[in-house]
Structure 1
Amino acid sequence: MSKILNHPFNVNAEAESDAADDLNIPVCLAENAPSDDVWSDAASDWPMSYESESEIEFNVVDDNVIDEFWSDALTETDTSDEQSVESAECLGEELRGWAIDSQVPQCHLNGLLGILRKYHPYLPKDSRTLLGTPTNYEVQQIAGGTMHYFGVEKGIRHILHQIDPLPKAIHLQVNIDGLPLFKSSNQQFWPILGLVEEDKTKQPFVIALYLGSKKPANVNLFLETFVNEYGKLKLEGVDVIGKCVDIKISNFVCDASAQAFVKNIKAHNAYHGCEKCTQEGTWAENRMTFPEVDSPLRIDASFINKDDEFHHKGTSVLTEVGIGMVSQFPFDFMHLVCLGVMRKLIGFWMRGPCPTRLGAHQIGLISAALVSFAMTLPREFARKGRSLVEVDRWKATEFRTFLLYTGPVALKDHLPNVLYHNFMLLHVAVRILCCPSLCLQYCDFAEKLLITFVEHFQSVYGNYVVYNIHGLTHLANDSRQFGALHNFSAFPFENFLYTIKKMIRTPTQPLQQIIRRLSEKASVRAKKRVFKDGFYQEHKNGPLPYNVTQFTQYKQYINGGTLISLSEGDNYILFNGDIHIVKNILKDKEASHLVCLKFQNKSSFFTYPIDSSSLNISFVKQPGQSLTIVPLQTVTKVILLQYKDGFVAYPLLHTA
């Protein structure tokens, strides 16, 4: 016993040789291992030596101490396990958000989880568990296709939880349109989308999604669930965090075909196809035309009573919930003006009859100007513009850019005066209606310009006053009711439809795929969506005016989605009617300012149909040399387009 007790590691010395054999220790090392005498000598040097078994019993550690030691050890282990689980949950949340935002395929995410589980065993094995992919959802057979209803209230709640402060009432825009899925198939989606006008992000959400080989066979069956839910919400509102929020549909944003389908009326190319007036169309040269500009207007009551029986195909279920079937269906700026009128005008200039067709040389010069403008357009323009040769591939935003900004400069001196003046009627009228500060004040004037454009269009281009051209005569009236044209355009909805289409990974069961992808996206923890306004990229490079030293200098400033920076294209502003180039951005605790150079020799760029200075559009030369300080909160961003020996300055009208 003494031999065992004197061994400092409490190992049976008699079993050492056998242990050496079991552990395959080389013989030379086993033979040279310390002898019992060596271990005995070493034990004598320890602070406490044991001479008898009685001493052992006297020096045994108290059982309570041992219990306390193991209790602390187990507590530390439990705490460590809890921290590991919490860490894995945080990691899983971040992985989920990353995978959904980046649309990572399941096979790739499964491979990543297999690697991460070696170090984070609490992570799930399968990507469907991580993403919360639903396995049970209802798909109805309805109106000749399949449909899943997500719900108005569900989408609104998700939006309202991210709006601060919570509004007392919200106004809902509804969009219905067809979305072809594949080039090799007739399969198409017909989604019902919603957008809360009080949401600054203008992010639509899906109310219902229909899949079929064509549009729904019965519009009332297609809309029935939506109408029933909205009727209930209209009366009761939505309870959000103990507060009742009223809900009202503001308008339906649809193109001409979708409007006719939803309202259950004749198509836009029918004799009684205009939704706004009772004019009977005229069939001429293989097209339906609407040459009159002063026909009696339709009203909601006359629509309900079906005073014009040739306008209707049946009764729409929307009438049951008090929707204004005329007043709440405005013309859509994107489809009517950008993809309709502007595309037709460019078509006349490139492929129309000889009196309106331009030569290849003029088209080349206009195209060169458009391409050169693309180099200096600011970041608010996702598509910078392309040559007229590629006009068949232009998107709606490119037609908008041409109409509102680049067109008047690129066409000047290359388009015959008669055609140019006709285009400028449209340009000025639409700019007025797109500007929030001008559309209400000068709406009557814009309406006169649009009517003049339509009348002049007939004399210049011939009998081509089709539905889109005629619709311009009613556009100002919609602006009176709903404000600037961008407030009720289909641009945000079209962007969202593109996002939905990208969610489809295989041609098999596209509806079920979208249901799963949207459910996964909804499972991500909602965050407050705010614009990242503020100052960025601090520097100390100047320039600074004389005796200005207390400010912090920055290179970028973002406000409501609009960027002002020191970079080319994003550094031009309008202040007190003058154009400035931004050279520095200053900020202190009390105020923010811009250090600028003011452009000299300002003059009007055009005088027909009004002087361009009335719209803050001007022609300027080179900037001066003296630095000036401008208050940041009172400026408007402008676009500078080179023309001859100077620049044409256009105030920016949109942020996306």
Structure 2
Amino acid sequence: MVYTGVCNFNSRHGCLKCTTVGEYSHQYHTVVFPNSRCPKRTNEEFRNKKYRDRLKSDTPLLKLPIDMIEDFPISDSLHLIDLGVMKRLLVGWRDGNFKNLTTKWRADDTLKVTQFLLTCKLPSEIHRSMRGLDELHHWKASEFRSFFYYLSIVILPDFMSKGPYEHFLTLFCGVTICSSLKYSSILDLSHELLLYFVENFKTYYGNYITSNIHNLVHITDEVRKFGPLNTFNSYPFENKLYCIKKMLRAGNKPLSQIAKRLTESDWNVKSKLSKAKNETNQYPVIKTNSKNRKIIDFGMFVISNKIQDKYFMTTEEEIIEVAEITDEHIKGYRIENVSDIFELPIKSSYLNMFKTGVQNGNRTTEIISFNNVSYKFVVTTNKNELYFIPLLHTLII
């Protein structure tokens, strides 16, 4: 956090939000933070230079009417969770880097997880397909995100013992609650779950409580202030950086090239906006793709009879599998006999997550109005069971 004039995140006084003091671990060759329950830092004490061990220099930001503690978020899910905690856990399970052999996967377990990942069909809204664990160090943040939110609770029970898996579920439930406004009423529960995960981390993985692990205890406070995690992560900036890099045509004068390309892009955007002034998209919109397949575009997601896009929840809380789409309605099958995926630390149904056996035989057919579509599911199959997990950005209050 150089811009605020404080020491780095991996120093002994590196926590931006609380007064915990780290310890250097000779075993892990890094600073760890064993204490999770420490007094919070305050803007007043920061400006009065009470944190002398943390401050390195004055910052011009002190001239602004901002809170020097709360207005600087640390809960960027891309770096904290996806490329942070989730990547560290997956690498540790695969390679046994935690010095705890009880959480290390065998070679054939790793192969089975890879086979599962390669067969998963993710919805059209998730543009990057999964790769195997043999390419783990090349995974993008979005792949770790897809694994964490949609695949982990499907495949991990097959390769983890009860204790470590239930410990992981406290992280999964805590972060999921922080990822949608729909769960905002149980943010207090999320804080307790994440606190439990951090405080019991050493039980299964040793004292490797780095700044990423420690900062999990501060997520819920920032979600209360800024909104769900996806509303203030750095994914849009990473995507924009990729676009900027694509604008370069040579290594000479990169700033001039980017300025010219942005000017050209600005003219194109203005042209498109002027053409669209009299056009208003009223969702849902019926479209037909190149294979003559009807698709319903709801703006934030699409529904079709493709296997990865054909499951959704209705406003009457029925899970539907699309059979046919017409210009007036959806004809589909109601999914019967659903149950919870897990029951601890909370029932998965509280997070709108379910499982059921593969549906066979005669099934109930229903006609569903487009207005009765509530949100979309990510559906995966494992051991002849279907797992229904909400596509997070489609959840509404």
Q: Please give the TM-score of this superposition, normalised by the length of structure 1.
A: 0.55
Q: Is the 8 A contact 2:286 2:327 kept in 1?
A: no
Asked if 1:327 corresponds to 2:63, the answer is no
Q: Secondary structure at the match of 2:200?
A: helix
Match of residue 595 from structure 1: 331
CA distance in structure 2 between the aligned counterparts of 1:481 and 1:537, rounded to whole angstroms: 39
Q: Is the 8 A contact 2:300 2:393 kept in 1?
A: no
CA distance in structure 1 between the aligned counterparts of 2:281 and 2:246, rounded to whole angstroms: 25
Gap change, CA 1:334 and 1:347, over 3 Å in 2: same
Match of residue 356 from structure 2: 620
Asked if 1:461 corresponds to 2:197, the answer is no
Equivalent in 113, 123, 132 of residue 387 of structure 1: 132
Q: Is the 8 A contact 1:349 1:357 kept in 2?
A: yes
Gap change, CA 1:500 and 1:525, over 3 Å in 2: closer
Asked if 1:314 corresponds to 2:57, the answer is yes
The offset of 1:355, in angstroms, is: 3.0
Gap change, CA 1:385 and 1:421, over 3 Å in 2: same
Match of residue 629 from structure 1: 367
The offset of 1:554, in angstroms, is: 8.1
Deviations 1:206-256 (A, max 9, x none): xxxxxxxxxxxxxxxxxxxxxxxxxxxxxxxxxxxxxxxxxxxxxxxxxxx
CA distance in structure 1 between the aligned counterparts of 2:53 and 2:262, rounded to whole angstroms: 42
Gap change, CA 1:308 and 1:572, over 3 Å in 2: same
CA distance in structure 1 between the aligned counterparts of 2:331 and 2:71, rounded to whole angstroms: 46
Q: Secondary structure at the match of 2:294?
A: strand
Matches within 5 A, 1:17-166: none
Asked if 1:358 corresponds to 2:105, the answer is yes
Equivalent in 289, 299, 319 of residue 579 of structure 1: 319
Match of residue 555 from structure 1: 294
CA distance in structure 2 between the aligned counterparts of 1:292 and 1:535, rounded to whole angstroms: 53
Q: Is the 8 A contact 1:272 1:278 kept in 2?
A: yes
Gap change, CA 1:525 and 1:424, over 3 Å in 2: closer
Q: Secondary structure at the match of 1:603?
A: coil
Q: Is the 8 A contact 1:531 1:560 kept in 2?
A: no
Q: Secondary structure at the match of 1:441?
A: helix
Q: Is the 8 A contact 1:370 1:410 kept in 2?
A: no
Higher RCO, 1 or 2 (CA under 8 Å, sep at least 6)? 2
CA distance in structure 2 between the aligned counterparts of 1:617 and 1:605, rounded to whole angstroms: 7
Equivalent in 347, 370, 377 of residue 117 of structure 2: 370
Equivalent in 24, 32, 35 of residue 283 of structure 1: 24
Asked if 1:501 corresponds to 2:240, the answer is no
The offset of 1:510, in angstroms, is: 1.6
Q: Is the 8 A contact 2:287 2:296 kept in 1?
A: no
Asked if 1:274 corresponds to 2:15, the answer is yes
Asked if 1:640 corresponds to 2:375, the answer is no
Q: Is the 8 A contact 2:285 2:298 kept in 1?
A: no
CA distance in structure 1 between the aligned counterparts of 2:196 and 2:370, rounded to whole angstroms: 39
Deviations 1:346-394 (A, max 9, x none): 1210122223211101111111111111xx2110111121111111001
One-letter code aligned to 1:572: Y
Match of residue 210 from structure 1: none
Q: Secondary structure at the match of 1:582?
A: strand
Deviations 1:574-605 (A, max 9, x none): 123332101233455xxxx4221011221111
Asked if 1:297 corresponds to 2:37, the answer is no
The offset of 1:342, in angstroms, is: 0.5
CA distance in structure 2 between the aligned counterparts of 1:599 and 1:516, rounded to whole angstroms: 54
CA distance in structure 2 between the aligned counterparts of 1:444 and 1:535, rounded to whole angstroms: 39
Matches within 5 A, 1:205-284: 260-284=1-25
Q: Is the 8 A contact 2:22 2:33 kept in 1?
A: yes
Q: Is the 8 A contact 1:554 1:584 kept in 2?
A: no
One-letter code aligned to 1:382: H
CA distance in structure 2 between the aligned counterparts of 1:470 and 1:504, rounded to whole angstroms: 39
CA distance in structure 2 between the aligned counterparts of 1:377 and 1:525, rounded to whole angstroms: 31
| Structure ranking higher in strand proportion | 1
Gap change, CA 1:534 and 1:613, over 3 Å in 2: closer
One-letter code aligned to 2:285: F
Equivalent in 157, 161, 178 of residue 416 of structure 1: 161
Match of residue 59 from structure 1: none
CA distance in structure 1 between the aligned counterparts of 2:221 and 2:44, rounded to whole angstroms: 18
Equivalent in 535, 548, 551 of residue 285 of structure 2: 535
CA distance in structure 2 between the aligned counterparts of 1:365 and 1:399, rounded to whole angstroms: 18
Gap change, CA 1:317 and 1:578, over 3 Å in 2: same
CA distance in structure 2 between the aligned counterparts of 1:283 and 1:356, rounded to whole angstroms: 24
Q: Is the 8 A contact 2:30 2:210 kept in 1?
A: yes
CA distance in structure 2 between the aligned counterparts of 1:646 and 1:633, rounded to whole angstroms: 29
The offset of 1:630, in angstroms, is: 2.4
Gap change, CA 1:532 and 1:465, over 3 Å in 2: farther
The offset of 1:535, in angstroms, is: 2.4
CA distance in structure 1 between the aligned counterparts of 2:83 and 2:384, rounded to whole angstroms: 33
One-letter code aligned to 2:16: E
Deviations 1:53-105 (A, max 9, x none): xxxxxxxxxxxxxxxxxxxxxxxxxxxxxxxxxxxxxxxxxxxxxxxxxxxxx
The offset of 1:646, in angstroms, is: 1.9
Match of residue 174 from structure 2: 429
CA distance in structure 1 between the aligned counterparts of 2:375 and 2:284, rounded to whole angstroms: 16
The offset of 1:328, in angstroms, is: 1.3
For structure 2, list consecutive stretches of 5 or more residues without a partner in the other structure: none
CA distance in structure 2 between the aligned counterparts of 1:615 and 1:453, rounded to whole angstroms: 18
CA distance in structure 2 between the aligned counterparts of 1:461 and 1:298, rounded to whole angstroms: 28
Provide the identity percentage.
Answer: 33
Gap change, CA 1:408 and 1:322, over 3 Å in 2: same
Q: Please give the TM-score of this superposition, normalised by the length of structure 2.
A: 0.90
Q: Is the 8 A contact 2:287 2:297 kept in 1?
A: no
Q: Secondary structure at the match of 1:434?
A: coil
Deviating beyond 6 angstroms after TM superposition, the runs of 4 or more aligned structure 1 residues are 529-532
Gap change, CA 1:632 and 1:361, over 3 Å in 2: same
The alignment covers a number of residue pairs equal to 376
Match of residue 150 from structure 2: 405
For structure 1, list consecutive stretches of 5 or more residues without a partner in the other structure: 1-259, 540-552
Gap change, CA 1:339 and 1:532, over 3 Å in 2: farther
Equivalent in 232, 235, 254 of residue 488 of structure 1: 232
